[in-house]
Structure 1
Amino acid sequence: MAQIPHFIGKSALTYLICRDYVAYCVRRPQVFKAIPAPLIAIVIFTAAAMVGKLDLGTVGDLGSITRALPAFLIPDVPFRLETLAIIFPYSLALAIVGLLESLLTSSIVDDITDTSSDKHREARPRNRQCH
């Protein structure tokens, strides 16, 4: 839905390509499930646009993209209790998401390998030694 404003006022060819892309993604998973349909569609439609030299918009038309890697820096934020109070809810939410992802991955690996892992140890390591 966030991309829809970028399609307003584009050529009829753009709308046809988008329609065909969505139709392909909807129909293709029923035929071939090993590779995700959107990935196959991106490759097919990109190749068709390049070979046919179709006049379609690109990401570069929306703005410039720098080729340099971002610089590493420490943010210019005061290290006070007030700052920690602001970032604490976000850091807690990210920690919970990370823990849930770790536990879900552990469950999936347990199912695939027919083994059992200690979820308590995964969630709360008692020592930091590798075994």
Structure 2
Amino acid sequence: MPTHPSPEELYRHSLRLLLAKDIPAWVGLWAEDGVMEFPFAPPGRPERLEGRQAVAAYMRHYPDHIDLHDFPDVRIHQTVDPGTIVVEMRGVGRLVQTGRPFDMTYIAVVRVEDGRFTSYRDYWNPLAVQQPGLDFAGSDAR
């Protein structure tokens, strides 16, 4: 019987891949039919991405827009479902186009099955996309 990383281990690994700007490896952590959702997406931004290919298209140019430096204050909460975690964290870095600081707070509800992300609901702050110079992942997926 194969062993898989725990949801927390998989999530922490995914953060290391984002910091390394290894988007193909990050996308490789997704189940083929995984779903990424943005419940607070403003008009013009995607609300739901269905399948690994849609997630890949959304994330492809992320490092061209945001240069992530760190994820301080990562807190991962277990739920009664062993495959589901709730994550509170900050992503900090700089906006590539303007050089301005990037500092975003995230809350995510993440489901993992067989060592792959199957569901990821990202409750990010939609007001942040109104900052000048912040046009990031998702611009291809509209």
TM range (shorter): under 0.3
Q: Counting helix residues as a fraction of each chain, which structure ranks higher?
A: 1
Greater RCO (CA < 8 Å, at least 6 residues apart): 2
- What is the TM-score normalised by the length of structure 2? 0.22
- What is the TM-score normalised by the length of structure 1? 0.24
